[in-house]
Amino acid sequence: MRYSQFPLTTLKEVPAEAEIVSHQLMLRAGLIRRLASGLFTWMPLGLKVLRKVEAVVREEMDRSGALELLMPAVQPAELWQETGRWEQYGPLLLRMSDRHGRDFCFGPTHEEVITDVARRELRSYRQLPVNYYQIQTKFRDEIRPRFGVMRSREFLMKDAYSFDLDPEGLEVAYGKMHDAYRAIFERLGLRFRVVDADSGEIGGSRSQEFHVLAESGEDAIAYCDADSYASNVETAATERPAGERPAATQALETVSTPDVRTIDALCEFLKVRPEQTLKTLIVEGEDGPIALVLRGDHELNAVKAQKLPGVKTPLTMAGPDAVRAATGAGPGYAGPHGLGVPVFFDHATALMADCVAGANRDGAHLTGLNFGRDIDEPGTVDIRNVVAGDPTPGGNGELSIARGIEVGHIFQLGDKYSRAMNAAVLDDEGRERVLSMGCYGIGITRIVGAAIEQNHDDAGIVWPEQLAPFDAVIVPIGMDKSETVREAAEELYRNLESRGVDVLIDDRNARPGVKFADAELIGIPHRLVVSKRGLAAGEIEYRHRRDTESVQLKRDEALDRVVGESLV
């Protein structure tokens, strides 16, 4: 490709709308352009990268035995009504109607459509197992599109759906996808972790996520290598601590705490540690408000809390009026003592003594609150996020916390969709069997952003070889003035192209500094500089994007190096 024929606009300035480095670099390098909130055009350079991701995913899916198909992006409401998700999915679902007034949605996912395919196509156990996949555009009306293509509204997903006769078959299909996903992320050259996950609104039992590790990740991952344990913090379990509670040493007292509404303010005001305080949160329940009590320094885990009996899903915090109705005080003063609504205590409160808590009166807290004496012994539940240093479930170590970007998710759905939509086959005894289903997603577009989060420096993107939009760039210096340089550069270009290297020649009339800066920003792995001085010595300047220094190589040596290391 010739730079002169590839209208590429790179930006020097960091675009103000981009919070994280991958988004900034994708805009600066001209990979994407924003159309509207959460909608992006993949420019030719970016599309080359996207297609590379797609190709690796497709190859590994094919290798696993999955079959590619392509379903419509637009889906009829009737299918979603069959599974109840037309109501449940909420505002994330982009709904529309056609000229006849029939309801449709732009698919955020395809369980309903594929289950409809399966119930029509699959009749006999002899047709199983089967795993269908597609690479296709999804739309989710995300509440906060951000980070460019990492959380956009329209994005490209690889989604696969397996169908088996029984749960044992599903286990096998799931295992195959697990292995295929590992192979995909390894081939893409990403540092990733597989973690246990919540199956969320999609339903089903077992599920794992694949996370690219990066500081900017929206997810927190709890892990312990000694215990071979890794889980999304959303689902990482905590247990009731073992041991004895210390004896009470303080009498119960009410203290005046005007304008003290947060744990931080409370600790500052009373000179106590957050570990001594109880944080009481009022949430909406099916039959009125419910109180959730945590140790003051802990965070509520919404995924766990919304699974408690009577608590509304999705978890909704009570508004100020509801808090007052439930506690008799405004927000910031709730506490478990004398509270007239159902209360759940987190496990970590089990062994606390001489606690500080809200008094359910404006401007007042209690000190010296003790379980068994002032309030009933708590039966405790798991409603907090794990923190670094918590014991692992296996008991062999302590948890560490890392940030991750979810790039893949595999689920064992079981019969949730197949039962609702009556997708069944006949087994070898002629009995009807509801299909066991799995679903497996990869965020193709998100991977591009995630890869940049992991691979960049001050000058720009440092693509893993497999993802680079070009393998090599030729930078001729003074090409307009020297015919020798022009000829040598053109010859090099033809040579590399004929050997299958995807090479870009920077044939613009621009200063060398501009050309170097662009090549670095775009992140092309191999750079060859052709100059009059180098040619006189029969040499070409070579530099890999990851190297700090360039080297002078003989022409053939330079060529072989590029060809040898390019993925031809």
Binding to Mg ion by residue 295, rule CB under 5 A? no
**Range 556-565 contact pairs with CB under 8 angstroms and sequence separation of 24 or more:** 558/528, 559/492, 559/495, 559/496, 559/499, 561/526, 562/471, 562/472, 562/496, 562/501, 562/503, 562/526, 562/528, 563/496, 563/499, 563/500, 563/501, 565/465, 565/525, 565/526
142, 166, 239, 490: which one binds ligand ATP (CB under 6 A): 142
The distance of closest approach from Cβ of residue 92 to Mg ion in the complex, given in angstroms and rounded to an integer, is: 13
Closer to ligand ATP by CB, 185 or 344: give it: 185
Who contacts 166 (Cβ-Cβ below 8 Å, separation ≥6)?
433, 436
Binding to Mg ion by residue 555, rule CB under 5 A? no
Binding to ligand ATP by residue 446, rule CB under 6 A? yes
Nearest Cα to 38, choosing from 158, 157, 140? 140
Binding to ligand ATP by residue 152, rule CB under 6 A? yes
Nearest Cα to 333, choosing from 280, 369, 384, 288? 280
- Cβ atoms of 386 and 238 closer than 8 Å: yes
Q: Which does 433 bind (CB under 5 to 8 A by kind): ligand ATP, Mg ion, none?
A: none
Nearest Cα to 360, choosing from 291, 311, 296, 287? 291
Q: Is 34 left (phi over 0), alpha (psi -120 to 50) or beta?
A: beta
Binding to ligand ATP by residue 140, rule CB under 6 A? yes
Binding to Mg ion by residue 158, rule CB under 5 A? no
**Range 414-417 contact pairs with CB under 8 angstroms and sequence separation of 24 or more:** 414/167, 414/170, 414/204, 414/205, 416/83, 416/203, 416/204, 417/83, 417/111, 417/112, 417/115, 417/203
Q: Which does 50 bind (CB under 5 to 8 A by kind): Mg ion, ligand ATP, none?
A: none
DSSP conformation letters of 235-263: T----PPPSPPPPP-S--EEEE-TT--SH
- Cβ atoms of 87 and 313 closer than 8 Å: no
The distance of closest approach from Cβ of residue 89 to Mg ion in the complex, given in angstroms and rounded to an integer, is: 14
Closer to ligand ATP by CB, 134 or 152: give it: 152
23, 58, 337, 409: which one binds ligand ATP (CB under 6 A): 409
Q: Which does 443 bind (CB under 5 to 8 A by kind): Mg ion, ligand ATP, none?
A: ligand ATP
Task: Decide: helix, strand or coil at residue 548.
Answer: coil
CA triplet 57, 59, 60: central angle to 5 degrees? 65
Tell me which amino acid residue 435 is: L
Which one of the spans 65-73, 285-293, 355-363, 400-408 is the region binding ligand ATP (CB under 6 A)? 400-408
157, 282, 348, 434: which one binds ligand ATP (CB under 6 A): 157
Strands (E) located in 2-83: 32-36, 39-42, 67-68, 74-76
The distance of closest approach from Cβ of residue 409 to Mg ion in the complex, given in angstroms and rounded to an integer, is: 4
* Residues 72, 225: Cα–Cα separation, whole Å: 42
The encoded tokens of residue 268 equal 């500052």
203, 441, 476, 525: which one binds ligand ATP (CB under 6 A): 441
Which one of the spans 241-249, 358-366, 389-397, 405-413 is the region binding Mg ion (CB under 5 A)? 405-413
The distance of closest approach from Cβ of residue 301 to ligand ATP in the complex, given in angstroms and rounded to an integer, is: 15
The distance of closest approach from Cβ of residue 188 to ligand ATP in the complex, given in angstroms and rounded to an integer, is: 13
Q: Which does 382 bind (CB under 5 to 8 A by kind): Mg ion, ligand ATP, none?
A: none
Using Cβ positions, the residue closest to ligand ATP within the complex turns out to be 443
58, 85, 119, 151: which one binds ligand ATP (CB under 6 A): 151
Using Cβ positions, the residue closest to Mg ion within the complex turns out to be 409
Q: Which does 157 bind (CB under 5 to 8 A by kind): ligand ATP, Mg ion, none?
A: ligand ATP
CA separation, residue 42 to residues 155, 159, 280, 448, 471 (Å):
11, 20, 47, 11, 19
Distance of CA 258 to the CA centre of its chain: 42
The encoded tokens of residue 502 equal 């995807």
Closer to ligand ATP by CB, 185 or 345: give it: 185
The distance of closest approach from Cβ of residue 84 to Mg ion in the complex, given in angstroms and rounded to an integer, is: 20
Closer to ligand ATP by CB, 155 or 344: give it: 155
- Cβ atoms of 235 and 241 closer than 8 Å: no
The distance of closest approach from Cβ of residue 153 to ligand ATP in the complex, given in angstroms and rounded to an integer, is: 7
Subset of residues 103 to 132 that bind ligand ATP, contact rule: CB under 6 A: 109
443, 523, 525, 534: which one binds ligand ATP (CB under 6 A): 443
The distance of closest approach from Cβ of residue 218 to ligand ATP in the complex, given in angstroms and rounded to an integer, is: 6
Q: Which does 407 bind (CB under 5 to 8 A by kind): ligand ATP, Mg ion, none?
A: ligand ATP
Binding mask 406-445 for Mg ion (x = CB under 5 A): ---x------------------------------------
Interface with ligand ATP (CB under 6 A): 109, 140, 142, 151-152, 155, 157, 406-409, 441, 443, 445-446
Note the residues at the interface with Mg ion (CB under 5 A). 409
